[in-house]
Chain A
Amino acid sequence: MLYWFRNATRDLSKKSVGAKISKILIVEDNHQNALLMKRVLGARHHQIIHAEDGESGLQAAVEEIPDLILIDLGLPDIDGQTLVAFIKRVPELKNIPIVAVTAWPEETAREMAQAYGCDGFISKPINTRTFSDQIGEFITAD
Chain B
Amino acid sequence: MMPIDDHERNIDLIPASAFSFEELTDAYNHTRVDYMVPMPMNVNKLREYVDTYDVDMDASAVAVDGYEVLGLGMLGIRQGRAWITRLGVIRRNRRHGTGQAIAAHLVEQALQKGSDYIILEVIKDNTPAHNLFLKFGFKETRDLVVLRRPPGPPKIEAPAAEIIPMRYSGALDLLDRRVTTPSWLDEKESLINAGNLEAFHLTLADGSQGWMVYQNTVFQLGRIVIQTDKGDPINVGRALVHHLHSKHRAQDTKTENLPLTDPHLPVFRQMGYLEMFQRIEMVRSL
Contacts and interface: CB of A to CB of B under 8 A. Distances in A.
A111 B274 contact: yes
A108 B251 CA distance: 20
Contacts of B151: 85, 89
Interface residues of B, number: 26
A76 B150 contact: no
A54 to B, nearest CB: 9
A74 interface: yes
Nearest to B273: A115
A interface, over-half SS = loop
Nearest to B38: A74
Interface of B: 29, 33-34, 36-42, 44-45, 148-151, 219-220, 250-252, 254, 272, 274, 276-277
The main secondary structure of chain B at its interface with chain A is loop
B254 A117 contact: no
Interface of A: 29-30, 53, 72-79, 81-82, 85-86, 89, 102-105, 108, 111-112, 115-117
Given A76-B29, A82-B220, A112 B42 contact: no
Contact of A81 (B29, B45, B150): B150
A104 B252 CA distance: 19
B38 A82 contact: no
A93 to B, nearest CB: 15
A25 B78 CA distance: 43
Contacts of A103: 34, 38
A116 B38 contact: no
A82 B149 CA distance: 10
Nearest to B274: A111
A116 B149 CA distance: 8
A74 B39 contact: yes
A103 B40 CA distance: 12
Contacts of A30: 33, 40
Contacts of B149: 115
20 contacts: A29-B29, A29-B40, A53-B42, A72-B38, A73-B38, A74-B38, A76-B40, A76-B45, A77-B42, A78-B220, A79-B254, A82-B252, A82-B254, A85-B150, A85-B151, A85-B251, A104-B37, A108-B277, A111-B274, A112-B148
